Structure 1
């Protein structure tokens, strides 16, 4: 009579017993089950570990007494070793000893059989039950240690794996890397398309990450739209290759049934033991590097360094000093002219904010604006910024007959209704014409915030403001942006001007942009002209507006008045 396993599937079964006769007996009973199961044999604990490490074993039958130890030694070691699949464990002994049985079950055995009493039926039932219990236990452990949405490990399991990885690195004198990343502008995706699409994007990103790393590496959903990668035995060179892969796949949008979702990743990387001496300090170091990457404009990665640590201390100091700087009028404006390239006459002025710091001197917005989190400080800063600009426009309107527009830069954090409402109120209270103000927004932030930004930009346009894309050509140049957004013009990035005298490709690109803007009825400003040789090449091209140190450096308000009077 033959007995089939109740789950009717072939299993990989390992028999560990130093008795050849007992192994033969078990082997014969299992083969009678006729379900295609594959068998391995081992005579002691050491050999069994070798088999387990090189094969996907489903069920382990292990004798209690072995030449190099007892079964509980192996079972306890298996309990402390993370597994990717269930392992049913059946303990075997020649003694019907309840104390031994209890110790084996506590060590992880799912079933217990006494030699000499093993029948076909008992063995079949033990194998079936042990594997089912292992499956259930594995499922429970998986749910406890993994994120329910993405299937990646959660914080608890990541912390456990990281501490074990550091212990291995110490023993083996190797290094490991932590990459902390988050999805740029993920909140806008949720707000615009809904949480279902947001969840789909997170799962899509996890699949892409998985395809870019080794099977032995760990992906953790650290929280919300943040992920951590744990990469063992990894050099900086190899880590950079992975970072480049992660950055490259995010250049392709996620296509859902109804939308194309643009996204990017900001990433910070730190290494053990060169950057940190513990699991917590390693994650903190990666977090500092991530902050720096986001500060650089998102869609970047950054490696931790001691200089970064010192820079972070300085940043905390500046944040603490920021409220007092607002109250003490430490911020002031400079204005750089935008000129007619043929006549070199002023056409507009770009407002540039500076923080006059008592120790550090003049600090540019690139340094301090990213330190301000969304909230009261951001609002207070822009209230002061807009007020000062409007006061300058009012003053110049009284003194000069012709009004020159002022162009202002809005950072990503300021693309929200609260800040825009401040601008509109300030212009109305000053009795100014909104057309006297241009709003500059970088191409990069537009690309990642299109649905969110579109609503804000339409509101600005409806109020009479002109919208300019800044740094055009170096982010994610898109004809879709030019066609969808309510734009008045673009500013071509200085990158194309730096070597314009000799770079024929850059000359061709600028000419193409000139033609494109003419056809779309968009104003074109070419910025970054600093030398006469650049000017000589550009002045013969068919466009009107230019900006750069060749024409004028940023000027104080009093200098602006002086030159306008001349």
Structure 2
């Protein structure tokens, strides 16, 4: 041993080699630690024997924690078992292995690890260790995933996408682009978007397009383009600039969608909002707009405008008899017939079931008369539909702007009023609005408003007219007749207010009041000792259609303790026209309760035996229009006799209405009529007066 403590002699050479090895090892470790990639070395059994500083930084584990451990320490729930198995198989064979594997740091955060593992053998070829190099490629994979996602979105987007260079030439398009435009990708790459121009936009449009794109960085809006096959279509287009870090434009990106379906839907909505779906004519909303425009133009030019209101006469009979499909086809056919009568500036609109309105700019009364005559002629021409020959007639009302009215709403109302005047004049004609109609409209409005509070104010009352034996004049029954005494308007007849009550929905309340009051009075007379008299009460067509009518009558009969046999319900044959089957069922319910049915106004119009069978009436009332014409030698005498004979054959009781003279009474007796009512026997009177009449000594005609 020398003084330094090292072996002397030959040992000096050993120490020199030992020190050199130590220096090399330190140099080797320093070199490995300087590498930015993680390095680990394992023995042949894959136990870690060395990790460098980069590996420690990458994993978060210290070298002491890693030495002696397995690489499985870095694996976790997201690590691919398949990749691990492939790695082990390669290392077992002594082969190099390379892969990307999801590993986990000490704190549990995952990272993508790019592995390169190489086996190391000794001089004798025996496997001694493995050297692994790895690096974190998470950021690279995220970037690649984002690029892959962007590529998939680009290709799979339902919206067409296109990228253009600074010169505006296409550099990329997606599948939706080729589907919408019809161009294949290779046909548009390198081409300018002008390839798609429709020709519907002028140069100023494209100038403003590019100006906004450059100043704001984007443009968005509706544009029309052309497909490869030449068809023009609307699209919603968004174009934006792609800029680099310095803010310089690098590319343009466009996205668009074909909005043809949306435009069609918008058009359908517009048509539904402004056009009648059945006939295709303008509806009430569009009519109002066009009429307002026509009136404005007329004011500027000092012209007139005619507004015509056309309603088909008895159109409901077509629907009820042949069905609504036939009625609809009839309306379509008539709309087509009327169109040729009009000029381009005229408007024909359908505003209701069988109601049409025409607006004729620049048309005065003479011009309207000419058009009305043409409409009357063409509408009345027979039509062949579903094997039926149909003929309908129109009633037309005409109002002139500004002669009759200064605004559309008033003009419309006046034409409507004139149309109703045409119907009252016999239908199949036309009528011009007059000032007299305005006064009538004002009264109608006032009466309708007053009617709403008539019962509340106790203005309604029942008068009773006696029905007497034609042979000896004694009272056999009474008819309850509704009267209205308004505080300001005075007595208002039922012919005026009953139709208003029906149209305004008040008839149900009034009808219930009439039945209740009549039966209450009948009970009062019975309680006062009068002999039972049949009480006749009129029903309206609206009441006959009410589902609860029979229940209401039964309730009131029970409340007032009146035998159903002493209540007679008067109906007119026209009531059954709207719903013959429903009317028959309603009448059958009433008859089943024990009530008597009277067919009123017989002989005033068309009557068929089917109606007599439908009503199953026990009483036939001869209309006053026939009775008033009875005279010695008059032809009406035979008509009345025939009606009485018909009633007798059908076992029906006859009552003649409107008997005013002894001569009429005698002729009715000769014809075999059993009962009569009219001024000859007594006018309609308050209950107290009728009671006095019944109690009086005189049982014959009065006056």
Among 270, 278, 297, the residue aligned to 1:149? 278
2:609 paired residue number: 479
Query: Counterparts of 1:22-41 in structure 2 under 5 Å?
Result: none
Query: Could you say if the C-alpha distance between residues 255 and 426 of structure 1 is closer, same or farther in structure 2, counting changes exceeding 3 Å?
Result: farther
RCO higher in structure (CA 8 A, sep ≥6): 1
1:539–1:300 CA distance, 2 compared to 1 (3 A): farther
Matched, 1:497 2:623: no
SS at match of 1:510: helix
Residue 512 in structure 1 maps to residue 642 in structure 2: yes
The CA distance in 1 between the partners of 2:405 and 2:627, in whole Å, is 42
Structure 1 counterpart of 2:551: 421
Match of 1:203 among 290, 308, 329: 329
Instruction: Give the whole-Å Cα distance in 2 for the aligned partners of 1:263 and 1:356.
Output: 41
Shift of residue 167, structure 1, vs aligned partner: 6.6
Compute the TM-score of the two structures, normalised by the length of structure 2: 0.52
SS in 1 for 2:577: helix
2:27 aligns to what? none
Aligned position for 1:488: 618
Distance in 1 (alpha carbons) for counterparts of 2:588 and 2:495: 26
The reply to whether residue 438 of structure 1 matches residue 568 of structure 2 is yes
Counterpart selection for 2:472 from 343, 346, 368: 343
* Partner SS for 1:353: strand
Q: Distance in 2 between matches of 1:395 and 1:297?
A: 45
Q: Residues 470 and 493 of structure 1 are in contact (CA less than 8 Å); yes or no, is this contact kept in structure 2? A: yes
Residue number in structure 1 paired with 2:523: 394
1:56 equivalent in structure 2: none
Instruction: State the match for 1:220 in structure 2.
Output: 349
Q: Which runs of 5+ in 2 are unaligned?
A: 1-196, 206-228, 233-259, 697-703
Cα distance between partner residues in 2 of 1:363 and 1:229: 36
- What do residues 108-153 of structure 1 show as CA deviations (whole Å, max 9, x unaligned)? xxxxxxxxxxxxxxxxx99x99xxx9xx9xx979877542223433
Residue of structure 2 in register with 1:524 after alignment: 654
Structure 1 window deviating more from structure 2 (316-325 vs 237-246): it is 237-246
Larger-gyration structure (1/2): 2
Contact 2:283 2:349 in 1 (8 A): yes
Q: In structure 2, do the counterparts of structure 1 residues 336 and 104 end up closer, same or farther at CA, with 3 Å as the change threshold?
A: farther
Q: Alpha carbons of 1:274 and 1:530: their partners in 2 closer, same or farther (altered >3 Å)?
A: farther
Cα distance in 1 for residues equivalent to 2:580 and 2:568:
19
Name the counterpart of 2:514.
385
The SS at the match of 1:220 is strand
CA contact (8 A) 2:337 2:379 kept: no
Q: Which residue of 1 aligns with 2:689?
A: 559
How many Å separate the matches in 2 of 1:444 and 1:296?
19
- Asked if 2 retains the 8 angstrom alpha-carbon contact of 1:212 and 1:245, the reply is no
Contact 2:341–2:375, Cα closer than 8 Å, also in 1: no
Instruction: Please give the per-residue CA displacement for 1:163-207, whole angstroms capped at 9, x wherever unaligned.
Output: 465578775855624215378796x998x89xx933432432453
Change (3 A) 1:180 1:401: same
Counterpart CA distance in 2 for 1:446 and 1:297 is: 22
CA distance in 2, matches of 1:260, 1:409: 37
Q: Name which of 596, 599, 608 aligns with 1:466.
A: 596
| C-alpha separation in 1, matches of 2:482 and 2:433 | 29
**1:438 Cα offset (Å):** 1.2
Structure 1 gap ranges (5+)? 1-97, 107-124
Contact 2:454-2:460 at 8 Å conserved across structures: yes
Q: Measured at CA, do residues 458 and 560 of structure 1 come closer, stay the same or move farther in structure 2, by a change above 3 Å? A: same
Alignment TM-score, normalising by the size of structure 1: 0.63
Q: Give 3-state SS (helix, strand or coil) of 1:333's partner.
A: strand
Secondary structure of 1:326 counterpart: coil
Distance 1:464 1:175 in 2: 60
Q: Distance in 1 between matches of 2:285 and 2:616?
A: 47
Which has the higher mean CA deviation after the structures are superposed, 215-224 or 355-364?
215-224
Aligned to 1:111: none
The structure-2 alpha-carbon separation of the partners of 1:305 and 1:458, relative to structure 1 and needing over 3 Å to count, comes to farther
Q: Conserved in 1, the CA contact under 8 Å of 2:310 and 2:394?
A: no
Residues 1:376 and 1:168: Cα distance change in structure 2 (over 3 Å): closer
